[in-house]
């Protein structure tokens, strides 16, 4: 399918609704993406036509709901090239997916002095669960440093890997856009007998994903950043690992048997899905995957690369040294996340004036305070691109930045 | 006036560009408290020195947006030389100013209640209430000042 961004934009009602008078410039997809009409329709028709609890009723409707949910699992499994759909575990979001690994696999397998190696790019979601294990079981959290340009500095990797049991890295940074060499890290982890977890929250929405190619053991991502609903995330894990891991939460759905004496855990994936799952959200995520497949993830990647190049060039041409864009500028190793410092205007003030021009960007530490500290800033202005953005959005950002400069020099 | 100009009044930008009473005091005799805005990463330190129930010196330092920095700067000028009791009153009035609902502002500034008169330059911050996420910026220095008072009580 050929990719025409003006057609894509029309698929997203919020981007063309009258309330915003066509003047909404949405550049905050790293925080959450907008939703295509198809996803919205599938979610509402689920409630209108299918709604029943899953895995519980013998009646026709309950079967339909169960099928809808399990079909979505298949789709999501295919989307990331997983060989077995039982390797897809539904969670609330990427944060819960990572916590599941830390609290189940980590608690069972890590102890005093074991090392979890993180990159310096990580989101708090892939930091705090490991800090918690440091507190509860005495593990050590170690950091892969960054180069000047915001890439991972792997020169000392061999030394960094000593004592490591898990390498946990983001597939793409939500601050700098950096896309680390996951395959290299996964292979290096395996060579020392460690596992590799990828926080793919900013990866899966933006490029074709193949868990075999990535070579990792766990992959965490979140539905709302990939055109899906909020409240639904995914943990993919290698089935041999998942089978050995103890359950995370206990309750209904996750058991085969319960007696007064104890319980027997269900098989995967349900072993990790205690309680009534977010069924409509799962079905909605299935629809989001259908939508992204119909556009083609290669097209999404290509479009974002072209647009990121346009953005980097436009901002450089128009603002020169007045605007700093953190992180790598080579689009082959970065995604469409642009973290900026503009003149000496505080990011909060920049985003306020941008908002006045209808431009939605994020100002803050982006849940990556250790990275902010390395960058030597308290916060940045972050504009992030997705499949529905086009050059006019980048131009609007540049115009609004110029207006911001004028406003604060009055 | 557009909302934006209402938010960024001249006096606010002036305090942002030329902060008054920036710096630190020696602890002791001064007391110090630190405040954070976890949403945006703003940080502030407030030092006060109190003699005989009067704030004889106050300094602030930190990194933050124009609203948090100017509000802290204006706060220092408003409370220097005041008794602790008077300062409690100013804090109360300022918080009142920050909690006035947007609706009451739509008619113009005269709807501001009498309890917030006497704030002087600080009145300029009333535009902040139209931007609810920025209220936390404006009150950061003030909440930190209150923490200083807790420090005082403990000493
Ligand atoms: C890199 C990264 N990891 C994890 C998360 C957490 O996602 P969620 O809040 O949906 O769990 C985010 C999004 O905020 C992210 O950008």
Task: Tell me the pLDDT of chain A (410 aa) as tens digits.
Answer: 568 999 999 999 999 876 666 679 999 999 999 999 999 999 999 999 999 999 877 899 999 999 999 999 999 999 999 999 999 999 999 999 999 999 999 999 999 999 999 999 999 999 999 999 999 999 999 999 999 999 999 999 999 999 999 999 999 999 999 999 999 999 999 999 999 999 999 999 999 999 999 999 999 999 999 999 999 999 999 999 999 999 999 999 899 999 999 999 999 999 999 999 999 999 999 999 999 999 999 999 999 999 999 999 999 999 999 999 999 999 999 999 999 999 999 999 999 999 999 999 999 999 999 999 999 998 999 999 999 999 999 999 999 999 999 999 87
Kindly list the distances between the CA atom of residue A83 and the CA atoms of A79, A101, A268, A318, in Å, as whole numbers in the listed order. Answer: 10, 20, 14, 48
Q: Provide the number of structural domains found in chain B.
A: 1
The DSSP bridge partners found for residue A237 are A218
Q: Name the nearest CA neighbour of A308 among A399, A391, A364.
A: A391
Closest chain A residue to the Cα of B131, Cα to Cα: A352
Fold adopted by A5-30+296-408: 3.90.1150
> Which residues contact ligand 1 via a Cβ below 6 A?
A 93-95, 123, 125, 170, 174, 199, 201-202, 222, 233, 367
CATH of the domain at B7: 3.90.1010.10
Which residue's CA is the nearest one to ligand 1's atom 14?
A31
Closest chain A residue to the Cα of B62, Cα to Cα: A378
* Residue A218 C-alpha, separation from nearest chain B C-alpha, in angstroms: 30
* Residue A35 C-alpha, separation from nearest chain B C-alpha, in angstroms: 25
What is the reported pLDDT for B108?
A: 47
A216 an active-site residue? no
- If one residue of A123, A128, A171 were mutated to test the ligand 1 pocket, choosing by the most ligand atoms within 8 A of its CB, it would be A123
Rounded to the nearest whole angstrom, what is the distance from the C-alpha of residue B23 to the centroid of ligand 1? 37
Contacts of residue B65 in chain A, CB cutoff 8 Å? Answer: 346-349
Q: Name the nearest CA neighbour of B73 among B137, B5, B2, B152.
A: B137
What is the reported pLDDT for B126?
A: 86
Sign, CA dihedral A280-A248-A115-A133, equals: positive
User: For A364, which of B2, B3, B39 is closest by C-beta distance?
Assistant: B39
Contacts of residue A369 in chain B, CB cutoff 8 Å? Answer: 41
CB A147 within 8 A of CB A121: no
What ipTM score was computed for the predicted complex, to two decimals? 0.83
Rounded to the nearest whole angstrom, what is the distance from the C-alpha of residue B93 to the centroid of ligand 1? 39
Give, for all 155 residues of chain B, the pLDDT tens digit.
Answer: 467 888 898 888 999 989 999 999 988 889 999 999 877 778 899 999 999 999 999 999 998 899 999 999 999 999 999 999 999 999 998 988 888 654 454 444 444 444 555 687 888 888 888 888 889 999 999 999 999 999 888 87
Chain B contact for A378, CB < 8 A? yes
* Residue A22 C-alpha, separation from nearest chain B C-alpha, in angstroms: 21
What is the reported pLDDT for B102?
A: 44
Closest chain A residue to the Cα of B128, Cα to Cα: A352
Kindly list the distances between the CA atom of residue A144 and the CA atoms of A118, A154, A157, in Å, as whole numbers in the listed order. Answer: 6, 7, 8
Beta strand pairing call for A115-119 and A164-170? parallel
State the CATH class of domain A41-294.
Answer: alpha beta
Q: Which residues contact A351 (CB under 8 A, 6 or more apart)?
A: A361, A362, A363, A381
Contacts of residue B19 in chain A, CB cutoff 8 Å? Answer: none
DSSP string for residues in B17-70? HS-SSBS---TTTSEEEEEEETTTTEEEEEEEEEETTEEEEEEEEEE--HHHHH
> Which residues of chain A does CATH 3.90.1150.10 include?
5-30+296-408
> Which residues of chain A does CATH 3.40.640.10 include?
41-294
What is the reported pLDDT for B9?
A: 87
Contacts of residue A349 in chain B, CB cutoff 8 Å? Answer: 8, 65-67
Structural domain boundaries, residue B71: 2-154
Distance CA B119, CA B73 (A): 13
Inter-chain contact A353–B65, Cβ cutoff 8 Å?
Answer: no
CB B68 within 8 A of CB B125: no
Q: For B82-109, how does the pLDDT look when each residue is reduced to its tens digit (9 = 90+)?
A: 999 999 999 998 988 888 654 454 444 4
């Amino acid at each position: 399918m050929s990719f025409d961004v003006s057609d894509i934009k029309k698929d997203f009602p919020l981007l063309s609704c009258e309330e915003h008078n066509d003047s909404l410039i949405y550049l905050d997809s790293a925080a959450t993406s907008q939703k295509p009409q198809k996803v919205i329709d599938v979610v509402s028709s689920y409630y209108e036509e299918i709604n029943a609890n899953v895995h519980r009723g013998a009646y026709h409707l309950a079967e339909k709901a169960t099928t809808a949910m399990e079909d979505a699992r298949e789709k999501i499994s295919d989307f990331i090239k997983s060989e077995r759909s039982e390797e897809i575990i539904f969670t609330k979001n990427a944060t819960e997916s990572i916590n599941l690994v830390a609290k189940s696999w980590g608690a069972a397998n890590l102890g005093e002095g074991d090392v979890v190696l993180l990159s310096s790019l990580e989101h708090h979601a892939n930091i705090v669960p490991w800090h918690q294990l440091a507190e509860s079981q005495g593990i050590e959290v170690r950091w892969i440093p960054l180069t000047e340009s915001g890439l991972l500095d792997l020169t000392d990797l061999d030394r960094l890997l000593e004592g490591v049991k898990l390498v946990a890295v983001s597939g793409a940074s939500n601050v700098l856009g950096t896309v680390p060499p996951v395959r290299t890290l996964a292979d290096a982890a395996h060579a020392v007998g460690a596992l590799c977890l990828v926080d793919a929250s900013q990866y899966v929405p933006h490029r074709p994903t193949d868990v075999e190619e990535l070579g990792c053991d766990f992959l965490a991502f979140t539905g709302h950043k990939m055109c899906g609903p909020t409240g639904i995330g995914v943990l993919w894990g290698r089935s041999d690992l998942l089978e050995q891991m103890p359950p995370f939460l206990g309750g209904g759905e996750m058991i085969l048997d319960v007696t007064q004496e104890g319980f027997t855990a269900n098989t995967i994936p349900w072993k990790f899905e205690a309680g009534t799952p977010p069924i409509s959200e799962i079905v909605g995520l299935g629809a989001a995957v259908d939508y992204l497949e119909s556009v083609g993830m290669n097209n999404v990647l290509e479009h974002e690369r072209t647009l990121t190049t346009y953005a980097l060039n436009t901002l450089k041409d128009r603002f020169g040294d007045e605007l700093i864009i953190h992180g790598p500028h080579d689009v082959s190793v970065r995604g469409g996340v642009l973290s900026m410092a503009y003149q000496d205007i505080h990011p909060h003030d920049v985003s306020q004036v941008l908002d006045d021009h209808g431009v939605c960007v994020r100002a803050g530490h982006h849940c990556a305070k250790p990275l902010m500290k390395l960058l030597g800033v308290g916060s940045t202005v972050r504009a992030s691109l997705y499949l529905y953005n086009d050059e006019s959005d980048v131009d609007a950002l540049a115009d609004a930045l110029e207006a911001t400069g004028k406003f604060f020099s009055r | 006036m557009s909302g934006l100009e209402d938010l960024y009044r001249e006096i606010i930008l002036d305090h942002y560009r030329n902060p008054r009473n920036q710096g630190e005091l020696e602890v002791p005799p001064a007391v110090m408290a630190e405040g954070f805005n976890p949403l945006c990463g703003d940080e502030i330190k407030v030092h006060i020195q109190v003699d005989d129930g009067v704030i004889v010196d106050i300094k602030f330092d930190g990194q933050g947006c124009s609203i948090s920095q100017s509000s802290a700067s204006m706060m220092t000028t408003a409370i220097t030389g005041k008794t602790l009791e008077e300062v409690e009153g100013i804090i109360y009035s300022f918080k009142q100013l920050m909690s006035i609902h947007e609706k009451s502002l739509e008619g113009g500034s005269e709807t501001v209640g009498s309890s917030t008169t006497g704030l002087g330059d600080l009145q300029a911050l009333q535009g902040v209430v139209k931007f609810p996420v920025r209220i936390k910026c404006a009150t950061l220095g003030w909440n930190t000042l209150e923490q200083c008072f807790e420090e005082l009580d403990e000493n």
